[in-house]
Amino acid sequence: MDLQWNDSQPIYRQLRDRVVAMILDGILKEGDPLPSVRMVAAEYRVNPLTVLKSYQDLVEEKLVEKRRGLGMFVTVGAHQLLLAAERQKFLTEEWPRISAKIQLLGFAAKDLLQAAPPRSNPKQEDR
């Protein structure tokens, strides 16, 4: 993970987004433990309360569960839940801008498909 923080959003949110990216990328799988709050705080030189806030957000989103005395773990179904949310976000926030640009530039569907880079990890269930 990158140690650089940006000023556009709070650090706890950036930490949360990094964990989400790790789940989506398959680095953290269902049932895997998250690094301890103390370890993350020490590694990134942030307040443990900041890490705890980011983890609590993940718990509230049902992506992570607390196990008393054991720590935090990625929940079963977290990857699919995130994937569905990210797809919906793309369709509502990004796709309208992209679609408008495609129409403005006069692209045909075949032009876009020919220019698209090959998928690095194609999955049949995504189709």
**C-alpha 5 chain-centroid distance:** 16
CA atoms within 13 A on the CB side of 48: 6
Which pLDDT belongs to residue 5? 87
How does pLDDT run across 73-116, given as a tens digit for each residue? 999 999 999 999 989 999 999 999 999 999 999 999 888 888 88
Residue in 27, 34, 77 with CA at minimum distance from that of residue 52: 34
According to DSSP, the β-strands at 71-74 and 64-67 are antiparallel
In the block, which residue shows the tokens 């509230």?
A: 60
Domain 11-76: which topology?
A: Arc Repressor Mutant, subunit A (1.10.10)
Extents of the domains making up the chain? 11-76, 79-126
Per DSSP, which regions of the chain are E strands? 64-67, 71-74
User: Are the CB atoms for 56 and 65 separated by under 8 Å?
Assistant: no
Which pLDDT belongs to residue 4? 80
How does pLDDT run across 31-43, given as a tens digit for each residue? 999 999 999 999 9
Which pLDDT belongs to residue 116? 85
Instruction: Please give the Cα distance from 81 to 22 (Å, whole number).
Output: 14
Instruction: Please give the Cα distance from 40 to 115 (Å, whole number).
Output: 41
Q: What is the DSSP letter of 118?
A: P
What predicted TM-score, i.e. pTM, was given to this entire model?
Answer: 0.74
**What residues contact residue 93 under an 8 Å CB cut-off, 6+ apart?**
none
